[in-house]
Structure 1
Amino acid sequence: MPSPPVFIVGVGMTPFQSPKKSAANSSNPEGDYFNLAISACVKALLDAGINYDDVDQGVGSYVFGDSTGAQRVFYSLGMTGIPIYNVHDYCSAGSTGLFMANQFIQAGCADCVLVVGFDKMYPGALPQIYKDRENPLGRILTMSKKFIPEGQAKSAGWTPQLYANAQAEYLERYGSAGAKPEHFAAIASINRTHGMKNPYSQLRQAVGPEEVSSSPQVSGSITRLQCCPSSTGAAAAVLVSERFLQAHPFLKQSAVSIKGQSLATDSLELYEPASAIELIGSNMTRRAVKNAFSQAALTIKDIQVIELHDCFTTNEMCAIEDLGLASHGEGWKLVADRRITYDETSETKRTSPGWIINPSGGLISKGHPLGATGLAQTAELVWHLRGWAENRSVPGTKYCLQHNMGLGGATVVTILGRADSEVAPLLSEIRDQVDGRQRLGYNPAMEAREVDAGDFEAVKSRKSFSNWAADTFEALISPRDYRL
């Protein structure tokens, strides 16, 4: 029996920044990541043309922060007493929140769910915060030590070491067939070039493959420019049921349907047989994409645009194969033939046969605030399916794939398509269409703006708003009226 349809009707995100820059620009460093989360929520609600009173349930996804951070964010919009959940699935926290919202609506528990992902990370390599207890990834890290070549210099962090081991294994397996380190460098170069056109990207400067290869080594053959940066930022999405969509018909023309979605955790292949590639979660991707395509009754050949989890270039190379774009050991050929990027003769045409991978710039260019990443991928693909991403659009886009992976582990694959099942229009064809662009006052796919007092007033709860609870967002609240 088919699952009830679920639609994404609003998305929003903040520009991703380095943690150092974010702190320097913040007038309230202690609360700035909450401000970012609230801003993303405001944008998503404006895009959907609703206010917080319409939201039945809320999900907040983050990794670096204390418990009930989601409540702190949602209370700023209203204290309506709805169920609120906090999700901590490492790098896939945002998509896990998206998956939960989809499940709530399919189960009939809600008609409208607001999901927000946010994080304020630490500069540099991913740290281990709690030193007085076992790391949940301890078994993975212990096993990873057996793959470190003898005499190799100490890694800059535990995550680069995992991906350096996997890259070394890939090159050992497939080097005789033609796979080379420069193919991994080319991935970073392609994604950085894509990110130049994304107003939300943290790194918007192009780098050539040679520059990637010659940047300082971080671990094994992985260089600094093959790693995603630490980031601060937020992204949000509004998911609704078919009943809600019918009651708000103005949303139908820009609604995006979740055609298939699967969340997979690790199987025995994580540890058996021992493989550095399996230690970075490849099996989760293979099972999640199989289930998602089964739900959608589609195949990888039906997809035009992909946002995949490129925390390191190693992960993109492996994901290309695990998602079914190429056979195992042949993903490097897609990179070498530039079948994952725009045609060099026309940046509005994709190479055929091929796919546009990470038009946003991916994690390597856009940045990777862990809790926000999956929802930022969602926003990018929603904009493509609506026809809003004019400077990085792919003509003929009908279906998109999102892949968000977290070690430890959880991986989510989501297949998206328009609610009307049509091909994405050109922006010129919908220039005068009344949609979220009018409510926001600009096209968010092409321009990143801050929210203002009017935006906040438009979406906050009419019934249960507390100035005291919204103190973090005080610049947009007037007049002040604390009733203690």
Structure 2
Amino acid sequence: MGHKVIVAGVGMVPFTKPGASEPYHVMGEKAVHQALADARVEYPMIQQAYVGYVYGDSTCGQRALYPVGMSGIPIINVNNNCSTGSTALFLARQAVESGAVDCVLALGFEQMAAGAIKAQFEDRPTPFEAFDRATAELVGHPEIPLAIRYFGGAGKAHMDKYGTRLDTFAHIRAKASRHAANNPLALFRKEVSVDDVMSAPTVWPGVMTRLMACPPTCGAAAAVICSEAFARKHGLDTRVSIRAQSMSTDFPSTFESHDMMRLVGFDMARDAAQKVYAQAGIGPDDVDVVELHDCFAQNELLTYEALGLCPVGGAEKFVLDGDNTYGGKVVTNPSGGLLSKGHPLGATGLAQCFELTHQLRGTADQRQVEGARVALQHNLGLGGACVVTLYQAA
């Protein structure tokens, strides 16, 4: 690690259903204004901007930022599937840590359409060809949408290998709803019970109900990232820093293992987490609060093991013992996570940053994890990329 990197300010707009949001550029502009105000910096102090989105034309980042200011700075548009927001954060952190710049903006937004995610360009090869072939061989069910087959198939693999019960995933979803009830920015704030989740419409018999999947969502979030020297020079808030960060992409095991859990990024997540722990000189037992990529309840369970929060094969016990929530070992997704807060692809990684920054500042209101000092973020995109970030309170 080079220059110490500070999260000086964060901003986020309430997440909404498709069709109910403002246009992407309006959401993005609002999130940026919030982050700038929170950091107490003016836009001309920003030296670079990294803007993430998945569903949009070229230079949407400029469209969102030009109303904030036209200062001629580099604006880099980023697309890395569901890890887009944290990829923008990764690039911003890297620029500051290297000493190339002192103050950078990371922004993510998404204006999504209703319904299952699908390819936008059907006249050319999909980047998921190898994933789709492997999924067809391992789980079949071509009538089920691919994202459900990916993560439902991974959950089923865990069930088959370790005897995990379907209602364990329902416990995860119910926990997410309890947390989101205290988050005014979450899409779904209604609490649901394990029985509610189990009795929801089935999307894959014996494998997944509808409430175990996150909804398509619109939203935006942003962060101002700067060096410690810059923050101290300008009297900025230095309470939260990025202590370690790593991005991993797929390994040969993604396909060669013939394992759906690895197909959906288990090895990427484990590799990135191990590198982050090594950089920081700590272990998973030192983490107080986690925001992880629960696009499906099944992926949250897999990620507990990938991040080392519990032993491999021990995630069901971790859940049923309540070690994933307040009063347990580590609070996971106090925001409500993707399952309840929502998942606007380009914004998700920066929304996680928003939540964890407030947790470490002690300003998360009813969601506050008491005494939180170390926070871990996990953001996954198939195809693939996984970013793991470790934050620390001063």
SS in 1 for 2:380: strand
Structure 1 CA distance, aligned partners of 2:12 and 2:365?
18
Q: 2:161 aligns with which of 165, 169, 173?
A: 173
Amino acid at match of 1:301: D
The residue that corresponds to 1:201 in the other structure is 186
TM-score of the superposition, structure 1-length normalised? 0.80
The residue that corresponds to 2:379 in the other structure is 404
The residue that corresponds to 1:243 in the other structure is 229
The residue that corresponds to 1:388 in the other structure is 363
Q: 1:219 aligns with which of 204, 217, 234?
A: 204
What are the Cα deviations for residues 253-311 of structure 1, in whole angstroms up to 9, with x where unaligned?
xx311011000011111111111111101100000001111111111111110000000
Q: 1:135 aligns with which of 103, 119, 126?
A: 126
Does 1:13 find its partner at 2:2? no
The residue that corresponds to 2:111 in the other structure is 120
Q: 2:175 aligns with which of 190, 212, 218?
A: 190
How far apart are 1:243 and its partner, in Å?
2.0
SS in 1 for 2:11: strand
Seen in structure 2, the aligned counterparts of structure 1 residues 225 and 80 have a Cα distance that, compared at 3 Å, is same
Does 1:356 find its partner at 2:328? no
Matches within 5 A, 1:94-105: 94-105=85-96
SS in 2 for 1:134: coil
The residue that corresponds to 1:89 in the other structure is 80
SS in 1 for 2:375: strand
Structure 2 CA distance, aligned partners of 1:191 and 1:397?
19
Structure 1 CA distance, aligned partners of 2:227 and 2:282?
22
Amino acid at match of 2:285: K
How far apart are 1:193 and its partner, in Å?
1.1
How far apart are 1:390 and its partner, in Å?
2.1
Q: 2:143 aligns with which of 143, 149, 154?
A: 154
How far apart are 1:21 and its partner, in Å?
2.2
Amino acid at match of 1:43: Q
Matches within 5 A, 1:416-435: 416-418=391-393, 420=394
The total of aligned residue pairs comes to 393
Does 1:297 find its partner at 2:281? yes
What are the Cα deviations for residues 67-115 of structure 1, in whole angstroms up to 9, with x where unaligned?
1111111211111111110110000000000000011111211100011
Q: 1:283 aligns with which of 267, 276, 283?
A: 267
SS in 2 for 1:251: coil
Q: Are the aligned partners of 2:15 and 2:217 in contact in 1 as well (CA < 8 Å)?
A: yes
Structure 2 CA distance, aligned partners of 1:112 and 1:93?
20
Q: 1:229 aligns with which of 215, 234, 241?
A: 215
The residue that corresponds to 2:2 in the other structure is 3
SS in 1 for 2:350: helix
Structure 2 CA distance, aligned partners of 1:395 and 1:165?
36
The residue that corresponds to 2:322 in the other structure is 338
How far apart are 1:154 and its partner, in Å?
1.9
TM-score of the superposition, structure 2-length normalised? 0.98
Structure 1 CA distance, aligned partners of 2:360 and 2:209?
34
What are the Cα deviations for residues 225-265 of structure 1, in whole angstroms up to 9, with x where unaligned?
0000000000000000122112112423xx31101100001
Does 1:312 find its partner at 2:296? yes
Q: Are the aligned partners of 1:154 and 1:219 in contact in 2 as well (CA < 8 Å)?
A: no
Structure 2 CA distance, aligned partners of 1:389 and 1:372?
19
Structure 2 CA distance, aligned partners of 1:269 and 1:122?
33
SS in 1 for 2:82: helix
Structure 2 CA distance, aligned partners of 1:77 and 1:282?
39
Q: Which runs of 5+ in 2 are unaligned?
A: none
How far apart are 1:153 and its partner, in Å?
7.5
Q: Are the aligned partners of 1:153 and 1:219 in contact in 2 as well (CA < 8 Å)?
A: no
Structure 1 CA distance, aligned partners of 2:173 and 2:89?
27
Amino acid at match of 1:154: E
What are the Cα deviations for residues 327-385 of structure 1, in whole angstroms up to 9, with x where unaligned?
1111011111111112xxxxxxx22xx11000000000000000000000000000011
Q: Are the aligned partners of 2:288 and 2:331 in contact in 1 as well (CA < 8 Å)?
A: yes
The residue that corresponds to 1:428 in the other structure is none
The residue that corresponds to 2:244 in the other structure is 260
SS in 1 for 2:244: strand
Structure 2 CA distance, aligned partners of 1:197 and 1:19?
22
- 4+ runs deviating over 2 angstroms: 249-252
Amino acid at match of 2:202: Q
Structure 2 CA distance, aligned partners of 1:291 and 1:199?
34
Structure 2 CA distance, aligned partners of 1:219 and 1:85?
40
Amino acid at match of 1:197: N
Q: Are the aligned partners of 2:85 and 2:347 in contact in 1 as well (CA < 8 Å)?
A: yes
Q: Are the aligned partners of 2:8 and 2:236 in contact in 1 as well (CA < 8 Å)?
A: no
What are the Cα deviations for residues 129-165 of structure 1, in whole angstroms up to 9, with x where unaligned?
111111111110111011225xx5821x210111111
Q: Which runs of 5+ in 1 are unaligned?
A: 27-31, 343-349, 421-484
